[in-house]
Structure 1
């Protein structure tokens, strides 16, 4: 990529074309976007060139429609949707509580693929969050307790709190067996998709785009029907 940087502007010049070999079309994808995602995610994981395939952009919004976005880590895909974990007092969680809708974007630059997800959100049941929390390394479990996420802190405050927590939970020796329970303010969110788009980069910006739209039918909550369409690049 060529970039011109001067004191008053940044200009990104045209760069390399995309060259995905596969043809993406409504006829080539799985009937369910979750099944299609499993296929693409597995391929991204297996491709050594793709770094952190689980990284995704999460966008939330206030009830007034003011958006915010950040990168989080995708952790689970179940029969209902996409799961990530966070502090329930964080900005993202507070916005999701007030406006229970979210957007996700995965971008696997090295293989010129992207997945975009829109949906409503729901909290994971506490046992599900606890099962995942127990699988985390000790440092991550302690970190969940130590960080009052998204709040303003003084220099050194978080590490001082971490030291106190190590003593509280008997984790001074960094033993992975230390009993660090799930905080009541921490857990999972599930994005239940209503729209999923798969994007495959092609030369001359004539990309392949296939969109799944969930059809509104409460009777199909457990096995939704999806309308599959091609979108213009």
Structure 2
């Protein structure tokens, strides 16, 4: 009897892409578009839809959407300013953030080592991985000084890999994307941080939106 795993369908890859796009929106600096989608209930609806399409367990779906429901009906302008204030306190801080959004730096700290943005072993590995897959910093967008190991950026990269696997986009000329690159990147770099994030956020913030984002990214990186 064959023990091979059936191939992932294009529809599943597209659902994964949509899910990681939601995570990227959640972990990058908040935009007014995000606040409006949360206030209208569109963001919660999208989360429930893609998590359902990926056949995630009912418990994380219900918990995530219950937290997001607290944003529905709130004035979008108020929500926008509150999200930015919370994000700044959590992920930027006056001197140090309560939660580092930089996965390479986090991994270094977890090993009990000292690290500097850009220069940790993990951050350099991540940058090489992205570059091999044809993804780099945009000089035109003034990204030359942006660390690539930000969790929001990594979610954008996972979205890109999903779209390539779904044949919805083509990698740039010269890029090399292997069959197992999505799973390797997700398992090696994102999943450990996501599990920690889901556990840490409830004790670091009362903001239900970011608690929901922790549950979402953790559920996605556990999904096979």
TM-score relative to the length of structure 1: 0.22
Flag the structure with higher helix content.
Answer: 2
Higher relative contact order (CA 8 A, sep 6+): 2
Rg larger in structure: 1
Flag the structure with higher strand content.
Answer: 1
TM-score relative to the length of structure 2: 0.22
